[in-house]
């Protein structure tokens, strides 16, 4: 395992995500570092890749000290999915293992069923973006019913503390939530164990 890849990714993000920079510029600049991170599947510690038998896991890998961004691994057991939800901040999703389907929805008001507008499947190395300006409401599921899928997410805030919303597809009813994280620790980006002496 080479945590150096994650450390380099976080370092690049720290240079890219600055106060006052528009999300379009940030997301464009994040694409190349995300593709480099996804090109190798030898850096994610096992503790942050472990599935749960009943629901997906959201592991914090790093949070900027000013909470301008965070990096999260989402671990999907076979067939697991999210409810329909939003983020309220920009985000980039990159597929590290397996595959997931994202179905976007349009909100149409109280007591009106939600409208599914498009679906896309992310395979290893693929990237998708979310935000209130490009489309923020979706449901995500592991496309595999026999294996784990893992995606790496970068959000423009500490997503575990952001007040967000889940939606009822049939009624459009909205309920607020704060997700938190599935773990109480983060990886040690500064270990020397994987560097030459």
- Determine the pLDDT at residue 1: 59
Domain that holds residue 152: 4-177
Whether 186 is in a domain gets the answer no
Q: How many domains does the chain have?
A: 1
Whether 130 is in a domain gets the answer yes
Which residue is associated with the tokens 């980006």?
Answer: 189
- Classify 145 in phi/psi space as left (phi over 0), alpha (psi -120 to 50) or beta: alpha
Whether 182 is in a domain gets the answer no
Across-strand partners of 49? none
Residues 60-118 have pLDDT tens digits of: 999 999 999 999 999 999 999 999 999 999 999 999 999 999 999 998 888 899 999 99
Whether 183 is in a domain gets the answer no
Provide the Cα torsion 113, 172, 181, 6; round to 10°: 50
d(CA 71, CA 112): 34
**Mean pLDDT computed over every residue of the chain:** 95
- 114 neighbors 84 (Cβ within 8 angstroms): yes
**What is the side-by-side strand order in the sheet with 149-155?**
57-63, 70-76, 149-155, 91-97, 127-130
Burial of 127 from C-beta contacts in 10 A (0-12 / 13-18 / 19+): middle
Instruction: Flag whether pLDDT at 194 surpasses 80.
Output: no
CATH number of the domain enclosing 170? 2.60.120.10
Which among 121, 126, 136 is positioned nearest to 84, based on CA atoms? 136
| Mean pLDDT in residue range 12-22 | 94
Residues 125-153 have pLDDT tens digits of: 999 999 999 899 999 999 999 999 999 99
Whether 67 is in a domain gets the answer yes
- 1 neighbors 42 (Cβ within 8 angstroms): yes
Whether 68 is in a domain gets the answer yes
Whether 189 is in a domain gets the answer no
- Determine the pLDDT at residue 109: 82
Cα-trace Rg, the chain = 17
Strands 57-63 and 99-106: unpaired
Whether 197 is in a domain gets the answer no
């Amino acid at each position: 395992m080479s945590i150096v890849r994650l450390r380099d990714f976080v370092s690049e993000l720290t240079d890219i995500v600055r106060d006052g920079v528009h999300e379009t510029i940030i997301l464009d600049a994040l694409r190349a570092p995300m593709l480099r991170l996804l090109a190798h599947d030898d850096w994610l510690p096992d503790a942050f890749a472990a599935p749960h038998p009943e629901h997906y896991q959201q592991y914090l890998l790093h949070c900027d000290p000013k909470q301008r961004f965070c990096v999260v691994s989402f671990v999907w057991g076979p067939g697991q999915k999210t409810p329909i939800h939003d983020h309220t901040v920009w985000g980039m999703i990159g597929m590290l293992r397996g595959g997931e389907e994202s179905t976007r929805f349009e909100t149409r008001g109280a007591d009106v069923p939600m409208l599914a507008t498009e679906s896309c499947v992310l395979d290893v190395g693929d990237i998708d973006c979310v935000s209130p300006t490009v489309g923020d409401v979706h449901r995500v599921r592991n496309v595999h019913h026999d294996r784990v899928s893992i995606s790496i997410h970068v959000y423009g805030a500490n997503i575990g503390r952001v007040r967000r919303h889940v939606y009822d597809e049939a009624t459009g009813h909205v309920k607020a939530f704060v997700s938190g994280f599935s773990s109480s620790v983060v990886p040690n980006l500064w270990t020397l164990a994987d560097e030459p002496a």
